[in-house]
Amino acid sequence: MKPKSRKSAEPARDAPALRAHVLIVEARFYEELTDELCAGAREALDRTGATHETVSVPGALEIPAAIAIAEQSGRFDGYVALGVVIRGETGHYDIVAGQSARGLMDLGLDGLAIGNGILTVDSEAQAWARAGRKGHNKGAGAAEAALALIRLKQHMKVV
Protein backbone atom coordinates (compact mmCIF):
# COMPACT_ATOMS: atom_id res chain seq x y z
CA MET A 1 0.00 0.00 0.00
CA LYS A 2 1.40 3.34 -1.04
CA PRO A 3 1.50 6.05 1.65
CA LYS A 4 -0.65 9.10 1.03
CA SER A 5 1.24 12.24 0.14
CA ARG A 6 0.72 15.07 2.56
CA LYS A 7 0.85 18.73 1.74
CA SER A 8 3.75 20.32 3.57
CA ALA A 9 2.89 22.94 6.18
CA GLU A 10 6.26 24.56 5.56
CA PRO A 11 6.33 27.64 3.35
CA ALA A 12 8.65 27.72 0.34
CA ARG A 13 12.19 28.62 1.34
CA ASP A 14 12.82 30.86 -1.64
CA ALA A 15 9.62 32.86 -1.17
CA PRO A 16 10.27 36.48 -0.21
CA ALA A 17 9.03 37.66 3.16
CA LEU A 18 5.86 39.65 2.65
CA ARG A 19 6.21 43.19 3.92
CA ALA A 20 8.68 42.08 6.57
CA HIS A 21 10.33 44.76 8.66
CA VAL A 22 13.34 43.46 10.58
CA LEU A 23 15.44 44.93 13.37
CA ILE A 24 19.14 44.11 13.37
CA VAL A 25 20.55 44.35 16.90
CA GLU A 26 24.33 44.50 16.82
CA ALA A 27 26.75 44.25 19.73
CA ARG A 28 29.62 46.64 19.01
CA PHE A 29 32.28 45.09 21.31
CA TYR A 30 34.26 43.83 18.28
CA GLU A 31 33.40 46.59 15.83
CA GLU A 32 35.13 45.39 12.65
CA LEU A 33 33.75 41.87 13.00
CA THR A 34 30.29 43.22 13.71
CA ASP A 35 30.49 45.46 10.65
CA GLU A 36 31.11 42.37 8.51
CA LEU A 37 28.26 40.43 10.15
CA CYS A 38 25.92 43.39 9.59
CA ALA A 39 26.94 43.73 5.95
CA GLY A 40 26.09 40.07 5.34
CA ALA A 41 22.75 40.39 7.15
CA ARG A 42 21.78 43.54 5.26
CA GLU A 43 22.62 41.95 1.90
CA ALA A 44 20.48 38.91 2.73
CA LEU A 45 17.54 41.07 3.83
CA ASP A 46 17.85 43.35 0.80
CA ARG A 47 17.76 40.32 -1.54
CA THR A 48 14.28 39.45 -0.26
CA GLY A 49 12.93 42.99 -0.26
CA ALA A 50 12.59 43.05 3.52
CA THR A 51 13.07 46.46 5.10
CA HIS A 52 15.32 46.82 8.10
CA GLU A 53 16.67 49.07 10.80
CA THR A 54 19.75 48.66 12.97
CA VAL A 55 20.35 49.47 16.62
CA SER A 56 23.60 49.03 18.51
CA VAL A 57 24.24 47.79 22.04
CA PRO A 58 27.57 47.52 23.88
CA GLY A 59 27.82 43.73 24.06
CA ALA A 60 26.11 40.40 23.46
CA LEU A 61 24.46 40.30 26.87
CA GLU A 62 22.43 43.39 25.99
CA ILE A 63 21.01 41.96 22.75
CA PRO A 64 18.08 39.99 24.25
CA ALA A 65 17.00 43.00 26.34
CA ALA A 66 17.16 45.27 23.29
CA ILE A 67 14.98 42.85 21.32
CA ALA A 68 12.47 42.60 24.19
CA ILE A 69 12.28 46.41 24.35
CA ALA A 70 11.89 46.72 20.56
CA GLU A 71 9.15 44.08 20.52
CA GLN A 72 7.04 46.31 22.75
CA SER A 73 6.86 48.83 19.90
CA GLY A 74 5.02 46.37 17.65
CA ARG A 75 7.00 47.70 14.66
CA PHE A 76 9.06 44.63 13.76
CA ASP A 77 8.25 41.26 12.23
CA GLY A 78 11.55 39.74 13.27
CA TYR A 79 15.01 40.29 14.62
CA VAL A 80 18.61 39.53 13.72
CA ALA A 81 20.98 39.27 16.69
CA LEU A 82 24.62 39.93 15.76
CA GLY A 83 27.73 39.94 17.89
CA VAL A 84 30.98 38.21 18.70
CA VAL A 85 32.10 36.53 21.91
CA ILE A 86 35.75 35.41 21.93
CA ARG A 87 37.02 33.12 24.69
CA GLY A 88 39.42 34.83 27.05
CA GLU A 89 41.35 33.84 30.14
CA THR A 90 38.38 33.94 32.54
CA GLY A 91 34.99 32.29 32.81
CA HIS A 92 33.24 35.46 31.59
CA TYR A 93 33.04 33.95 28.08
CA ASP A 94 30.84 31.11 29.34
CA ILE A 95 28.46 33.54 31.03
CA VAL A 96 28.17 35.87 28.03
CA ALA A 97 27.86 33.06 25.47
CA GLY A 98 25.38 31.03 27.50
CA GLN A 99 23.20 33.80 28.82
CA SER A 100 22.89 35.68 25.54
CA ALA A 101 21.84 32.44 23.83
CA ARG A 102 19.43 31.63 26.66
CA GLY A 103 17.87 35.10 26.43
CA LEU A 104 17.36 34.76 22.68
CA MET A 105 15.93 31.26 23.07
CA ASP A 106 13.47 32.47 25.72
CA LEU A 107 12.28 35.24 23.38
CA GLY A 108 11.99 32.77 20.51
CA LEU A 109 9.92 30.39 22.59
CA ASP A 110 7.64 33.33 23.34
CA GLY A 111 6.99 33.55 19.58
CA LEU A 112 9.52 36.10 18.35
CA ALA A 113 11.21 35.42 15.01
CA ILE A 114 14.92 35.75 15.81
CA GLY A 115 17.97 34.76 13.81
CA ASN A 116 20.89 34.21 16.18
CA GLY A 117 24.13 35.47 14.68
CA ILE A 118 26.10 35.80 17.90
CA LEU A 119 29.41 34.08 17.17
CA THR A 120 30.97 32.21 20.09
CA VAL A 121 34.54 31.34 19.18
CA ASP A 122 37.96 30.59 20.63
CA SER A 123 39.93 33.10 18.57
CA GLU A 124 39.66 36.17 16.39
CA ALA A 125 40.71 34.07 13.39
CA GLN A 126 37.73 31.77 13.96
CA ALA A 127 35.48 34.82 14.24
CA TRP A 128 36.69 36.21 10.91
CA ALA A 129 36.22 32.84 9.20
CA ARG A 130 32.59 32.80 10.35
CA ALA A 131 31.78 36.51 9.96
CA GLY A 132 33.36 37.02 6.54
CA ARG A 133 30.98 37.32 3.62
CA LYS A 134 33.44 35.23 1.58
CA GLY A 135 33.60 32.70 4.41
CA HIS A 136 30.71 31.23 6.39
CA ASN A 137 28.76 34.53 6.20
CA LYS A 138 26.97 34.00 9.50
CA GLY A 139 25.40 37.46 9.31
CA ALA A 140 23.49 36.40 6.21
CA GLY A 141 22.68 33.08 7.83
CA ALA A 142 21.14 34.80 10.85
CA ALA A 143 19.07 37.08 8.61
CA GLU A 144 17.89 34.08 6.58
CA ALA A 145 16.91 32.27 9.80
CA ALA A 146 14.88 35.28 10.95
CA LEU A 147 13.16 35.48 7.55
CA ALA A 148 12.36 31.76 7.65
CA LEU A 149 10.66 32.19 11.01
CA ILE A 150 8.79 35.28 9.80
CA ARG A 151 7.54 33.27 6.81
CA LEU A 152 6.49 30.45 9.12
CA LYS A 153 4.57 32.88 11.35
CA GLN A 154 2.89 34.38 8.29
CA HIS A 155 2.08 30.94 6.92
CA MET A 156 0.62 29.84 10.27
CA LYS A 157 -1.17 33.20 10.54
CA VAL A 158 0.53 33.94 13.85
CA VAL A 159 1.20 37.62 13.16
CA dihedral (96, 97, 100, 104) in degrees, to 10, reads 180
In 3-state terms, what secondary structure has residue 74? coil
Pick from 96, 65, 90: nearest CA to 79: 65
Residue count (the chain): 159
> 120 pairs with which residues across the strands?
85
92 carries an active-site annotation: yes
Assess contact for 77 and 113: CB atoms under 8 A.
yes
Catalytic residue among 21, 52, 92, 155: 92
> 85 pairs with which residues across the strands?
120
- What is the set of active-site residues? 92
